[in-house]
Structure 1
Amino acid sequence: MTEPTRTRNLDIYGHAPLAWSRARTALSPSPAADLPFFLTTVRPNGRPHTTGIGAVWHSDTLYFVSGPGTLKSRLLAANPWCSVGVRLSGLDLTLEGTASRVTDFPTLDGLATVYRSGGWPATAIEEGFTAPYSAPSAGPAPWYVYELALRTAVAVASEEPHGATEWTFAA
């Protein structure tokens, strides 16, 4: 289980730090919940690039899919540092870390099952996933699968209990 090594209260109104378990639980709805995830990568000139992604939180890890020819995949190949933002129920969350391709077939096969349970008919293949369709921004199949090695997370609560917290995770 991913547990923070440090918790820092960012709240300026006197609220207690948020518990990481709240964010982790909010990330774990059914894959069919269709949460809005946005990936930010960095261009060589330092400009950010942000785009929507198909992501799932599974076994305390964030996974996402991208076609090998897309700008996001090309940028990750050059610089794996990235952030992923998501609006959860009562919580806005940003996850930061490094993304790496998942190439282990048993892991890919298990993740394809997770995506299928959410309604996307993904099938694991040696390169990643294939399916009859994907988002137009994903490019043509096959699609790579990435795992985010979490380094920091920041949450701002929009429902009680309110607060703002940063968590740091072991590298």
Structure 2
Amino acid sequence: MNPQTPQTVLDPRYSDDKAGPVPWSAAEARLAAAEVFWLTTVRPDGRPHVTPLIAVWSEGALHFCTGPDERKARNLEANTSVVLTTGTPALDEGFDLVVEGEAARVTDEDRLAALAGAWVEKYGEDWRFEVRDGAFRGDGGTALVFAVAPRTAFGFAKGDPFGQTRWRF
């Protein structure tokens, strides 16, 4: 995946007069540091499915893994459109991020090996995976790995000043 420089816009409808657009580099740093994300996929009947998971930011994309029989994996077979969100539960402080894009399966074993190392670096030894047959293998069995390069992302600064930044790729 090739990281791109997005068009960055502050939405004045949802921003304090003192707010300015947040640079994409600041959003990337927050995506890399965030520990928990919420993934939204679409069920075959059109209903949304939301679940928390962990993810790694690498080479311009968020990466997550899931068992092949889990609801999110089955949803992605029919519809690859996803949204990943992360942030803070506070109303008046912090920064929330929403990343919209398409989930693409990662099967290249060299890339998977690098991602497996990134999982351990970020989340510790409990998240060590072997790479085999185009997937992660761990104590829980097989895990398919997906990459989501942002198509559009939103950042919500909470507190003083509050603001909404949109990044389009």
TM-score by length of 2: 0.85
- The answer to whether the Cα contact below 8 Å between 1:63 and 1:148 also exists between their aligned partners in 2 is yes
Pick which of 51-60 and 103-112 moved more: 51-60
Partner of 2:137: 130
Q: Equivalents in 1 of 2:81, 2:144: separation in Å? A: 17
Q: Alignment identity in percent?
A: 38
Q: Compared with structure 1, are the counterparts of its residues 162 and 101 closer, same or farther at alpha carbon in structure 2 (3 Å cutoff)? A: same
TM-score by length of 1: 0.84
SS in 1 for 2:5: coil
Alignment deviations for residues 8-66 of structure 1 (CA, whole Å, 9 cap, x no partner): 3223322222221111111223xxx6x11110011222211000122111222210001
The letter for the 2-side match of 1:28 is: A
Structure 1: runs of 5 or more not aligned: 134-140
- The answer to whether the Cα contact below 8 Å between 1:7 and 1:166 also exists between their aligned partners in 2 is yes
Partner of 2:8: 7
SS in 1 for 2:55: strand
- The answer to whether the Cα contact below 8 Å between 1:127 and 1:142 also exists between their aligned partners in 2 is no
Q: Equivalents in 2 of 1:92, 1:19: separation in Å? A: 14
SS in 2 for 1:16: coil
State the 4+ residue runs in structure 1 displaced beyond 3 angstroms. 159-162
Residues 67-106 of structure 1 aligned to structure 2 (within 5 Å): 67-87=67-87, 90-106=94-110
Q: Equivalents in 2 of 1:99, 1:116: separation in Å? A: 22
Q: Equivalents in 1 of 2:75, 2:155: separation in Å? A: 26
- The answer to whether the Cα contact below 8 Å between 2:104 and 2:148 also exists between their aligned partners in 1 is yes
Offset, 1:84: 0.3
Q: Equivalents in 1 of 2:4, 2:42: separation in Å? A: 26
Structure 2: runs of 5 or more not aligned: none
Q: Compared with structure 1, are the counterparts of its residues 78 and 65 closer, same or farther at alpha carbon in structure 2 (3 Å cutoff)? A: same
Q: Equivalents in 1 of 2:130, 2:168: separation in Å? A: 34
Q: Compared with structure 1, are the counterparts of its residues 69 and 17 closer, same or farther at alpha carbon in structure 2 (3 Å cutoff)? A: same
The letter for the 2-side match of 1:103 is: T
Partner of 1:108: 112
Residues 140-155 of structure 1 aligned to structure 2 (within 5 Å): 141-155=141-155
User: Does the alignment pair 1:45 with 2:38?
Assistant: no
Offset, 1:162: 3.5
Offset, 1:161: 5.4
Partner of 1:61: 61
User: Does the alignment pair 1:20 with 2:13?
Assistant: no
